[in-house]
Amino acid sequence: MKKLSTLLLLFLFSLTLFSQDESTNTSDTLRKDALNVYMDASSYLKQKIPYINYVRDIKVADLVIISASERTGSGGREYTLFLEGQGKCAGMIDTIKYSSSPDETYEQRRDREVKNLKLGLIRYVQKTPLAQYMDIKFTEPISSEVSTDKWNNWVFKTSLSGYTYGQSTFKSSNASGRISASRVTEDWKLDFSSRYSSGKDEFEIGDEIYKSTTITKSADALVVKSINNHWSIGGNGSVLSSTYSNYDLRVSVMPGIEYNVFPYTESTRRQFRFLYSIGYMYNNYTDTTIYNKVEEGLFSQSLMGSFEVIQKWGSVDLSVSWSNYLRDFSENSLSLDGYISWRIAKGLSINMGGSFTFIHNQISLVKGGASTEEILLRRKELETSYNYFMHFGFSYTFGSIYNNVVNPRFGGSGGSNMVIMF
């Protein structure tokens, strides 16, 4: 029996070696000449674009591809692919832009990504022996005329959502709705929206029943005019009613001016913006505040600096914002936000981020504080001098530099990986 088992294992091992040798002889000739590309590629991309090598080490890549996206005025996204050659493709640099509409399915979006990436890869693949197998086709008839947009770039969107959850001693429900209208052109950015949200909780503890309700209603408007490739002017206004923040009514109008050190045309790759706003706010409070106010009007100002950059080594997103009421500069807040993703060595990446806010401007706090139920259920804004959030993680990958094969069986993926997240 042992001899039979040994012979069977030897036979299976020999069959595996034969299969590997056959595969090597038939397909590796082309594979070794394929373009080495370093990018964050999905399994779908690898299946649809099999004529390049997806490598994990940026140093052996002939081409590095960095992707970024921004939200468009229609509610879709504009995607940008930055292609930078190195090695045998050194000096070759391209930028590809394409957009998706908000009503496109996931399948349509990823097909559009494949098509645009194929177009961008053509002149790089042309530098390899695989170029002789490439073919380009134009599949649709084209008209010489462009139809006029009957909506004049206006986009309208509505949404309604809600949930309910419960058990024998607890019930919770929430309903929210939103309606918006926006128009985005090269010269103007107009964005108007209105929201409503209602949340209810009910707890039964012994013979006592505790109920809590939070209602928020708001309307916002943003108007921005482009001056040139570095300057913009505009402003935003808002109307708010919130049981959580003790506002029966809050109305604010904040004109502002923004300067971008880098041209706005480079916004998907890098930004360094400064925005200054100053305006007026009227507050009508639900309950008397800790400053014995039931209503008041205030002038306020804010200054924000934001730096964003995407490079081959990773990305950085940092911002600092300061705001205060002009009547008393001690009534202020300072917020620090940041995120960094850094590829520090072959296979080793680190990412970290978070925010920290110093708070000294809670003018709407209810006099007398909140009840125990309101504190536990977070139904009232509480006094604090700060809040923070932080996250950190790193990953390390080792093994073969090639990452071309897709095998979805049993839902897992092969390779040697170690990922540690905190």
CA-to-CA separations, 238 to 85, 241, 253, 301, 330, in angstroms, rounded: 47, 10, 7, 15, 24
**11 — pLDDT class (breaks 50, 70, 90):** low
Provide mean pLDDT across the span 184-199: 91
Residue 19 sits at φ, ψ, to 5 deg, of -65, -40
Confidence check: pLDDT of 275 > 80: yes
Most confident stretch, 68-77, 87-96, 273-282, 363-372: 273-282
pLDDT band at 25 (very low <50, low <70, confident <90, very high): very low
Per-domain residue ranges of the chain = 33-136, 151-226, 228-233+252-422
CB 313 within 8 A of CB 350: no
Distance of CA 202 to the CA centre of its chain: 35
User: How far is Cα 332 from Cα 361, in angstroms, rounded to an integer?
Assistant: 5
Instruction: Decide: helix, strand or coil at residue 257.
Output: strand
Q: Following CA atoms 61, 63, 64, 67 in sequence, which dihedral angle do they give, to the nearest 10 degrees?
A: -140
- 170-184 vs 314-325, strand pairing mode: unpaired
- CA-CA distance, 78 to 99, in Å (whole number)? 4
Q: Is the pLDDT of residue 350 over 60?
A: yes
pLDDT in tens, 355-387: 999 999 999 888 877 776 666 666 778 888 999
Query: What is the pTM (predicted TM-score) of this model?
Result: 0.64
CATH architecture of the domain covering 33-136 = 2-Layer Sandwich (3.30)
More confident residue, 230 or 147: 230
For residue 411, what pLDDT is reported? 57
Of the candidates 84, 86, 47, which has an alpha carbon nearest to the alpha carbon of residue 65?
84
Q: Is the pLDDT of residue 258 over 80?
A: yes
Query: Strand, helix or coil at 358?
Result: strand
Instruction: Assign 259 to helix, strand or coil.
Output: strand
219 and 264 Cβ atoms separated by less than 8 Å: no
> Which residue type does 73 have?
G
